[in-house]
């Protein structure tokens, strides 16, 4: 397809490289009410976990007159964490239809309503003596994230010039990391995280980014490609290009979009089934599926969800955990910013291969260090360094590039369906990590081991198949990395 053809490199003048205020505002505030909230929800449940579980027990006692069984607390907590991913899956499946009706910007604006409703439910759950409100609030917040993680990369990819498209697309990853970091800061003992009467305010904060986006985004343009190709509004598309690019003459940009439309012969939006059946985009689809699966199954979300437990297992004192956790958020934010600055020079593929390969190496070292932490006093510090290195490796490329690839590898008519498939893979993988990890942590029964071995066998089978059909080096690297990561986790049990 046209999007996958190599384009000749052209020299860029300084004026061409300038990011206008309109483009920066659209990228920042678009991501603030979308990616930021997703990242915040990954870390916000970490600090108040003890108090939320105590709230579950207290509510159960009030209802049934007896303490809640320990295994049921674990179940409720796992549901609270993982139902966020179920909501994300629902949002990812619905986003294609909503984007057709409301556009990219309209979908992001609609999403703020979900965030505000979720914030109310999560904040008022304790006062209402209803842990069901917390679970439903997490579900609705997942719907918000599922829709935004598809609509936002699509919006950013369509409003940004080609020569800085990767850097603008990295706003998605940067704001995810910043959201994680903010959740860690607000969860510090001196703020909201370690006081039983204040933990619900952590969830009230969810409404603030949504309100800020509602105040700013309506005054920014819709995607010019969406206006021209799907709404046939050439005048609106021209004005949008002029505001985003900061220049009057946008005839070249308009002609590029018209050329894309002519190449697609009577543009119409492709369904998911049509996308799956089309052999012309099969390798692009495989690329997106593998990168999205590796994005979640590489193990980093387990670190985000259960950082304190992992660091405690590494031998750190409880009073140090909040500050150590805070350093992980700072490292991932810094790595994401650096990645955004160098992505256009280095390229997507090298950053992905470097990121996944480095994660495999540091996960292997972490497994070794954890096994010897009881016998060597300074071993926990090496474990901590490995955790930081894993996070930095992830955010250097794998943390944001899969979303950029989904927008870049498909033409306009394929994008909604492609993002629906990518989102489905993303959230199913996220749900698997969130639901199973605490049970694996508590007890590693034989059936858990066998499940992991089957998954490892499947990964190795796919790797063998990839050799037979001579897949592109990028795909081979991802599958090999996924297999190595599963081996690392299996050995740790």
Q: Which of residues 372 and 472 earns the better pLDDT score?
A: 372
Provide the pLDDT confidence category of residue 2 given band limits of 50, 70 and 90: very low
Distance, in Å, from the CA atom of 41 to the CA atom of 81, rounded to the nearest integer, reads 9
Q: Is the pLDDT of residue 152 over 80?
A: yes
Is the per-residue pLDDT at 341 higher than 90? no
Give the model's pLDDT for residue 40: 92
pLDDT at 483: 45
Closest CA to 415 of 427, 405, 424: 405
- The pLDDT of 173-201, averaged and rounded, is 79
- Answer yes or no: is pLDDT of 309 > 70: no
Judge whether residue 111 has pLDDT over 60: yes
Q: Hey, what are 336's tokens?
A: 């994401």
Q: How far apart are CA 149 and CA 108, in angstroms?
A: 10
Residue 110 has what pLDDT? 93
- Least confidently predicted of 186-200, 273-287, 307-321, 466-480: 466-480
Q: Residue 305: pLDDT above 60?
A: no
Q: What's residue 155's pLDDT?
A: 92
Mean pLDDT of the chain: 78
Instruction: Give pTM, 2 decimals.
Output: 0.76
**For residues 144 and 113, what is the distance between their CA atoms, to the nearest angstrom?**
9
Instruction: Specify the pLDDT at position 264.
Output: 61
For residues 427-445, average pLDDT? 65
Question: Does the pLDDT of residue 462 top 70, yes or no?
Answer: no
Check: CATH 1.10.10.10 for 19-442?
Answer: no
Share above pLDDT 90 across residues of the chain, in percent, rounded to a whole number: 16
**Most confident of the following: 116-120, 121-125, 195-199, 266-270:** 116-120
Position 477 scores a pLDDT of 42
pLDDT of residue 303: 67
| pLDDT, position 5 | 39
Q: What is the pLDDT averaged over residues 209-227?
A: 92
Q: What is the 3-class SS of the chain, one letter each residue?
A: CHHHCCCCCCCCCHHHHCCCHHHHHHHHHHHHCCHHHHHHHHHCCCCCHHHHHHHHHHHHHHHHCCCCCHHHHHHHHHHHHHHHHHHHHHHHHHHHHHHHHHHHHHHHHHHHHHHHHHHHHHHHCCCCCCHHHHHHHHHHHHHHHHHHHHHHHHHHHHHCCHHHHHHHHCHHHHHHHHHHHHHHHHCCCCCCCCCCCCCCHHHHCCHHHHHHHHHHHHHCCCCHHHHHHCCCCHHHHHHHHHHHHCCCCCHHHHHHHHHHHHHHCCCCCCCHHHHHHCHHHHHHHHHHHHHHHHHHHCCHHHHHHCHHHHHHHCCCCHHHHHHHHHHHHHHHHHHHHHHHHHHHHHCHHHHHHHHHHHHHHHHHHHHHHHHCCCCCCCHHHHHHHHHHHHHHHHHCCCCCHHHHHHHHCCCCCCHHHHHHHHHHHHHHHHHHHHHHHHHHHHCCCHHHHHHHHHHHHHHHHHHHHHHHCCCCHHHHHHHHHHHHHHHHHHHHC
pLDDT at 59 over 80: yes
Q: Is 328 within 8 Å of 387 (Cβ atoms)?
A: yes
The answer, yes or no, to whether residue 263 has pLDDT greater than 90, is: no
How does pLDDT run across 439-449, given as a tens digit for each residue? 665 554 444 44
**Whether the Cβ atoms of residue 91 and residue 146 lie closer than 8 Å to each other:** yes
Going by pLDDT thresholds of 50, 70 and 90, the confidence category of residue 280 is confident
Residue 105: is its pLDDT beyond 80? yes
What mean pLDDT is predicted for residues 460-468? 42
CA dist., res. 213 & res. 490, Å (int): 43
**Pick from 304, 299, 359, 352: which is nearest to 328 by CA?**
304
What percent of the chain clears pLDDT 70, i.e. is strictly above it?
79
Rounded Cα gap, residues 41 and 46, in angstroms = 9
């Amino acid at each position: 397809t046209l999007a996958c053809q190599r384009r000749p490199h052209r020299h860029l003048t300084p004026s061409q490289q300038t990011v206008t205020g309109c483009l920066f505002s659209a990228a920042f505030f678009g991501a603030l009410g979308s990616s930021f909230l997703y990242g915040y929800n990954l870390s916000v449940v970490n600090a108040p976990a003890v108090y939320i579980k105590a709230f579950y027990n207290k509510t159960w006692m009030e209802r049934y007159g007896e303490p809640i069984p320990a295994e049921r607390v674990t179940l409720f907590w796992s549901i609270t964490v993982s139902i966020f991913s179920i909501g994300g899956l629902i949002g990812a499946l619905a986003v294609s239809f909503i984007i057709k009706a409301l556009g990219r910007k309209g979908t992001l604006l609609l999403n703020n309503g979900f965030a505000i409703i979720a914030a109310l439910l999560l904040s008022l759950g304790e006062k209402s003596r209803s842990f069901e409100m917390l679970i439903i609030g997490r579900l609705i917040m997942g719907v918000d994230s599922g829709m935004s993680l598809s609509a936002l990369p699509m919006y950013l990819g369509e409003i940004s010039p080609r020569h800085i498209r990767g850097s603008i697309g990295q706003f998605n990853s940067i704001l995810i990391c910043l959201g994680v970091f903010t959740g860690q800061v607000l969860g510090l003992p001196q703020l909201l995280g370690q006081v039983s009467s204040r933990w619900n305010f952590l969830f009230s904060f969810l409404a603030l980014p949504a309100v800020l986006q509602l105040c700013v985004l309506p005054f920014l343009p819709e995607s010019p490609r969406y206006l021209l190709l799907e709404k046939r509004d050439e005048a609106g598309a021209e004005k949008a290009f002029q505001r985003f690019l900061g220049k009057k003459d946008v005839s070249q940009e308009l002609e590029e979009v018209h050329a894309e439309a002519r190449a697609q012969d009577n543009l119409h939006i492709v369904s998911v089934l049509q996308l799956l059946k089309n052999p012309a985009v099969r390798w692009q689809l495989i690329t997106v599926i593998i990168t999205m699966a590796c994005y979640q199954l590489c193990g980093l979300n387990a670190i985000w969800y259960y950082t304190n437990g992992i660091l405690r297992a590494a031998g750190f004192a409880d009073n140090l955990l909040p500050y150590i956790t805070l350093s992980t958020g700072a490292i991932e934010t810094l790595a994401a910013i650096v990645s955004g600055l160098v992505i256009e020079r280095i390229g997507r593929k090298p950053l992905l291969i470097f990121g996944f390969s480095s994660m495999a190496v540091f996960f292997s070292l972490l497994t070794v260090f954890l096994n010897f932490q009881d016998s060597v006093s300074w071993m926990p510090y090496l474990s901590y360094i490995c955790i930081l290195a894993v996070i930095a490796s992830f955010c250097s490329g794998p943390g944001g590039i899969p979303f950029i690839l989904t927008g870049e590898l498909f033409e306009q008519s394929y994008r909604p369906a492609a993002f629906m498939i990518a989102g489905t893979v993303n959230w199913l993988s996220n749900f698997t990590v969130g639901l199973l990890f605490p049970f694996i942590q508590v007890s590693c029964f034989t059936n858990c081991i066998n499940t992991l071995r089957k998954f490892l066998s499947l990964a190795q089978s796919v790797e063998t198949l990839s050799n037979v059909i001579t897949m592109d080096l990028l795909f081979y690297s991802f599958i090999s990395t996924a297999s190595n990561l599963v081996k690392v986790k299996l050995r740790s049990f």
